[in-house]
């Protein structure tokens, strides 16, 4: 059974701080790892990672994958109150067929205080 564990479960920081969110996983035949941001509604896509060591960046957010150690981190620098959200990590297996499904972690609740 595929498994995703995120840590910490919650985190409170001040504006301007840098945060690192962790995601470890177990999956049969890994295909990709995805990060989503969820505010008070539907999750929105941030990054998809398929190869180790290649950092994905989007503004102040960046993410990297370590396929050997089976984990990923999401970094947010110079945090802003608008970064407050639940950050979800998910893994996609490569079943080799037409199956497609994601297994999500429980998420990290990030609160950025002014």
Partner 1 sequence: NAGVTQTPKFQVLKTGQSMTLQCAQDMNHEYMSWYRQDPGMGLRLIHYSVGAGITDQGEVPNGYNVSRSTTEDFPLRLLSAAPSQTSVYFCASSYSMGRNTQYFGPGTRLTVL
Query: Which residues sit at the interface with partner 1, rule CB under 8 A?
Result: 4, 9, 31-32, 34, 41-45, 48, 88, 90, 92, 98-107
20: its two tokens: 């690192």
Least Cβ distance, residue 38 to partner 1 (angstroms): 9
Q: Are 44 and 58 in contact (CB under 8 A)?
A: no
Q: Which is nearer to partner 1, 60 or 106 (CB)?
A: 106
Q: Which is nearer to partner 1, 23 or 76 (CB)?
A: 23
**Locate tokens 């409170």: which residue?**
12
Q: Which is nearer to partner 1, 21 or 88 (CB)?
A: 88
Distance CA 100, CA 114 (A): 41
Least Cβ distance, residue 48 to partner 1 (angstroms): 6
Least Cβ distance, residue 98 to partner 1 (angstroms): 5
Encode 18-29: b = buried (16+ Cβ within 10 Å), e = exposed.
ebebebbbebee
């Amino acid at each position: 059974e595929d498994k995703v564990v995120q840590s910490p479960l919650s985190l409170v920081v001040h504006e301007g701080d840098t945060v690192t969110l962790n995601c470890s996983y177990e999956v049969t035949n890994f295909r990709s790892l995805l990060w989503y941001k969820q505010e008070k509604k539907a999750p929105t896509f941030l990054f998809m990672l398929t190869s180790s060591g290649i950092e994905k960046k989007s503004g102040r957010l960046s993410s990297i994958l370590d396929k050997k150690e089976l984990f990923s981190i999401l970094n947010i620098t110079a945090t802003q109150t608008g970064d407050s959200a639940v950050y979800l990590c998910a893994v996609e297996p490569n079943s080799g067929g037409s199956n497609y499904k994601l297994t999500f972690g429980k998420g990290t609740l990030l609160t950025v205080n002014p």
